[in-house]
Chains A and B, each alone.
Chain A
């Protein structure tokens, strides 16, 4: 960065220094800003157990992954708002979503919901269903076999 600045006019040295300082300030500022924004705006991934154990602040953008509990899916009277429960075998979180569900969204299958906690309910802006029979959300890859077993047992 310091290679590009060169001064002119009365005090060349001085001006060059000013340009370097501006560029450095801009870059350091960018770095700090990015770090700050990332720590605030990156949305963390939760499974229901984490969500219950260590609840995030209300209104903060997060993602929730788990299985849609069988028999929990209800459509409200407006025809476009649905309620369902996401569980991971340990904990259950009620979810509300208004919109068109993805093609592969069905009960007893995996889902990743993007949204935020409002009270005890997770309000989803977007649902990502698992793509096919062989797809497990990468974030759920670490569930222990025990957990996975329970999840499947629960959602049968």
Chain B
């Protein structure tokens, strides 16, 4: 019964989306004024219905209703609760339903709370949102119905694959998904504003919390994905410039640029056409990323279920939405009037600079990701890796991070260099001292990690300067958020540079009782033994590691052999200290009975992910600040309206 309810409700929601699209566009014409009041309720009800549909699917998974095909194929009655829950979106159909759920609920929330935007722009936005979601409804309902019943209930589900029972795998993809879909709201706002030619501060203020929210999820998703790859792949690296990773990085870069340019538009009414353009680009990158990952058009180290048919579908949607939006931009951009002016030495100019740099990195990453495909058209087979991405993106990233130390200190519109020289001198001095120190103490490290160390520390320190001279209790939360996020980026850069500059690797063939020195750590192979898991057996090494002769800790890396489905995998072992991490991998047994072992000592490497989380936390603080501010403003305007009404009554 629940499956039928879920499906019926989903169809109703799709029908409402059609209505919302047509009512929205008719309401924009003078003849369709009657429909103005309909659009918002439609969006809210559509959001509710899809929410119910998604809850239905969750409940089917939680009670393991094996008469439903999707549940039978992807779940199992013996699965732990958390993986039953995650199974809901851990498959193609369920993830599409999650996608559309997030989309419809955000549409409903926009319809419910957004009061500052001009009514016609809001209606155009909701119509745009309905238009975008219709493509996904079509796909879901016509070709991948999640509620399909089996002719006869399956005796048991097929989804008890412990390989896939990984908390990282369960929550990492939906986090990125929410980020991608959040950007669709920004996209709809951009479309709405273009249609009604209402590109102004109100549009930017309405869009900003959505961009910020999506950006927070993307930041968390990328950080978690990087850590997941670090500890599962067993290669000791944390970022491989793999197409799947680039697919999540590109929307983040575009969203970061959009976040900053919409700030300029909201506060200063400048960068109008540019902000709209970025709104379109940010969502394009989400879809391009989804397309690249799902279509299997690029080969990747991350295993993914690949289906060219689904690829074609996403590509068709991409063509309709992004092609259409860019065409609309081409037609309407010339009617977007120029915004406020600003001097070359102003906060706006510094943000423009950073926007250009971010877009430069975005272009570099996109080009590098697609380059193998381009050369294949000319019959040459290449792969593009860190030797390209690292230096080329650094050329943009380093100036950008230097500017991040200066920009937030500048005043809007126009400023004098002399006003901030003394303040900027602090981080500049830090950068110079660190650089000097590194050059003197470690002359052998390469130029990029050297710059990374200096700029990372400089940014982590300099990001706090905007608080100087402010009353800390009265400083708006948005400023705190910016400070934290900028500081987090500096911390992450420092961690990455330290990992690259100071990592020590030790490869050795060891027998039980052997010791090896890995940087400050002495490791000793204490024993080798077999161990069995639910569907695997493994050889486990027991290793004691002692930091500078201190109390030893035990690490247990494994080489696992899976029975169903068959496969082999190495499980690395980590030991984290405040100043770094020891990473141990067990290899194969040699002919002479010695075991191949690989160790890394990576100083300060956890700062990469702590920095990433700090960036996300900064975003959260800023979001809370913005929302609180908006609520206050709405209350104030309500109060004024109320007083006015009272006065009118008294008259």
Contacts and interface: CB of A to CB of B under 8 A. Distances in A.
Contacts of B383: 42-43, 45, 63
B564 interface: no
Contact of A8 (B274, B299, B338, B414): B414
Interface residues of A, number: 43
Contact of B367 (A12, A16, A38, A79): A38
B360 A139 contact: no
A80 interface: yes
Interface in B351-397: 352, 355-357, 359-360, 363-364, 367-368, 371-372, 375, 380-385, 387-388, 391-392, 395-396
A18 B355 CA distance: 16
A153 interface: no
27 contacts: A4-B261, A4-B273, A6-B338, A6-B339, A8-B341, A8-B346, A8-B414, A16-B341, A26-B357, A30-B396, A34-B367, A38-B371, A41-B384, A42-B375, A42-B388, A43-B384, A45-B382, A75-B590, A79-B594, A80-B507, A80-B509, A80-B596, A100-B570, A103-B559, A103-B568, A103-B569, A104-B568
B175 to A, nearest CB: 27
A23 interface: yes
Interface string A53-95: 0000000010100000000000100111000000000000000
A27 B356 contact: yes
Contacts of A15: 343-344
Interface in B423-469: none
Contacts of A119: none
B588 interface: yes
Interface string B97-115: 0000000000000000000
A38 B368 contact: yes
A42 B341 contact: no
> What DSSP secondary structure best describes chain B's contact surface?
mixed
Contact of B360 (A18, A30, A99): A30
Contacts, number: 134
Contacts of A104: 568
Interface in A6-45: 6-9, 12, 15-16, 18-19, 22-23, 26-27, 30-31, 33-34, 37-38, 41-45
A116 B87 CA distance: 44
B416 to A, nearest CB: 12
Interface in B549-568: 559, 568
A89 B392 CA distance: 39
Contacts of A101: 587-588
B208 interface: no
A-B residue pairs, 4 tightest by C-beta: A79-B509, A100-B587, A4-B274, A3-B273
A150 interface: no
A113 to B, nearest CB: 12
Contacts of B360: 26-27, 30
